[in-house]
Amino acid sequence: FNYMIMQSYDFYSLYQRYGCNLQFGGDDQWSNMIGGMELIRRKLGKEANAMTITLLTNSEGKKMGKTQKGAVWLDAEKTTPYEFYQYWRNVDDGDVIKCMKLLTFIPMEEINEYAKLEGADLNKAKEALAYSLTELVHGEEEADKAQTAAKALFAGGSDDSNMPSTEVTCDDLEDGKITVLALMIKAGMIKSNGEGRRLIQQGGVSLDDEKITDVFTTVTEEQLKNSVIVKKGKKVFHKFTLA
């Protein structure tokens, strides 16, 4: 209720001060925007307008653009081109064609062909979606780098130059080492130690391509000098280096 009042007054104030007569937002804001239009009509006797767009939701009806580390940003300083590419590369099967239609300039004829793919073949559509959006936001060069890095990693290659990375300081170490759990928490790969322990016990975490089963597994200062790669599941990679 208070949010609706504040948003309505905000629209009224913008109209009164700057002549702003159009509010644009997601369709979940429709009632709040209508409130602002009505306030302007009653207070000023003027007509204002509202325009909404459909929210981007996944096949479960939840807003897209969220990860364990937070929102997916267009700013490369907040979401690297590689992370951006990987987000779209890993969308659910039921969302890839919709995202292609709403977010890319891929010709509809081509999208319709991708829509015929099933199972593992649908990965071709996901790669096309990820590349197209990364190119659109970050440019062709960054899209090429992200795609090359992703393919190299999944193929067991060694190109980690564009992988998300986190620097570990000496203050993070205890007796010259740090647990894999602590690394994952530091990088935002997991939300809690409990989540990390479950992943490790279920065989979902690897350190430099070696699956770990001990929740107390540590990484030494010497290892960090050469960098280590922690893998969560099949698709999330993160590099750690000593600062």
Q: Tell which wins on pLDDT, 214 or 209.
A: 214
pLDDT tier at 71, thresholds 50, 70, 90: confident
Domain count, the chain: 3
Following DSSP, what letter does each residue of 132-199 receive, concatenated? HHHHHHH-HHHHHHHHHHHHHHHTT----TTS-EEEE-GGG-BTTEEEHHHHHHHHTS-S-HHHHHHH
In total, the chain counts a number of residues equal to 243
Residues 74 and 144 in one domain: yes
Domain that holds residue 6: 2-53
Residue 159 belongs to a domain? no
Q: Percentage of the chain with pLDDT > 70?
A: 94
Rounded Cα distance between 62 and 237, Å, is: 25
Enter the pTM of the model.
0.67
pLDDT at residue 68 is higher than 70:
no
pLDDT at residue 66 is higher than 80:
no
Q: What is the pLDDT of residue 164?
A: 81
Q: Which of 102, 130, 154 marks a domain boundary?
A: 154
The 10s digit of each residue's pLDDT in 119-172 is 999 999 999 999 999 999 999 999 999 998 888 776 655 566 767 889 999 999
